Structure 1
């Protein structure tokens, strides 16, 4: 499905940007990316927009959770990704905007799931499913409070987060107004049935002719 190209593009861009920010070394491929120091910031548009390297060990907005919740979150992300992929595969007749929205959500979910599942093992700081999500987009925003915490900047996020957000917004806007295009029901008479109807019609006409002839003779 073409919509899955959107998913694949999100995953690739998300992982490349994370590896550039965090850095990685693969000697046998002669790849060595230095990356940024943890907490380091690079101003892009003054203080309004920065690239800041942080890692999120838990939920959205940097909310930390215990190890059991981290494992549950990783497994839930895996199950949710499989579910979205299956629905996306089965919804071939959905409007393009809905399929793109689902593809964006799927790409974002898989992008962050890769961090949680494998980054701890790759970078040697945690077992599988206990990795931390790499975030780096740092945008100034109006003050707001969520779950008792007040923020003077938008919580630092990544490509995967942005992809999920855009996908959800598209679904909210368009899904309620979009009906699935279902193929029209076939109304044509099957060929074998048509032959039966022709034979019955011929018999009826013959009977009618005989009856008409008998009537005239009488």
Structure 2
């Protein structure tokens, strides 16, 4: 691959990543605004026997952990995590496209929740999975982005990347 192609490829990846982050933030904030505008706090709308929309406020992080450190403490913690993710993102080789896209998804989700935390002092949650015996935490689209992005990173790191490396080694040993 010539240097111009590498530069163009890297630039396209950066633009794609920026678009993913912006799209994730816009979708997250739009859905949260819709929930706040159309549902009372605590109101639930059943969708399926195990799924409902439930307008809730989360003053902590996942499963309401760390709610006692306050919104600005959590916002600071989120900023520290974002800096760490950006560092990993910069250090990720350009050819690891799935990891780059996954990191963009994580960053978009994290920024979506950070916006809530800074402006509202809490995060708007609304997806509620439940059964008669078990209630899962209420979460939002940003949380889903973070979880899916993290799962894609693990998939790429532990399964796909090692497979690509083994195939490359086999190809180079047969040449």
TMscore range, shorter length: 0.7 to 0.9
Paired positions, count: 149
Higher RCO, 1 or 2 (CA under 8 Å, sep at least 6)?
A: 2
Distance in 2 between residues matched to 1:10 and 1:141, nearest whole Å: 29
TM-score with structure 2 setting the length: 0.75
CA contact (8 A) 2:25 2:108 kept: yes
SS in 2 for 1:154: strand
CA RMSD for the aligned pairs? 2.3
Q: Which residue of structure 1 lines up, in the alignment, with residue 77 of structure 2?
A: 76
Unaligned runs of 5+ in 1: 24-34, 120-130, 144-151, 182-218
Distance in 1 between residues matched to 2:104 and 2:52, nearest whole Å: 28
1:175 aligns with 2:175: no
TM-score with structure 1 setting the length: 0.61
1:114-133 matched pairs, under 5 angstroms: 114-119=115-120, 131-133=121-123
Q: Choose 1 or 2 for highest CA Rg.
A: 1
1:191-206 matched pairs, under 5 angstroms: none
- Which structure shows the higher helix fraction? 2
Of 36, 42, 46, the match for 2:45: 42
Distance in 2 between residues matched to 1:140 and 1:104, nearest whole Å: 26
Unaligned runs of 5+ in 2: 1-13, 166-175
Q: Which residue of structure 2 lines up, in the alignment, with residue 134 of structure 1?
A: 124
SS in 1 for 2:52: strand
Q: Which residue of structure 1 lines up, in the alignment, with residue 27 of structure 2?
A: 13
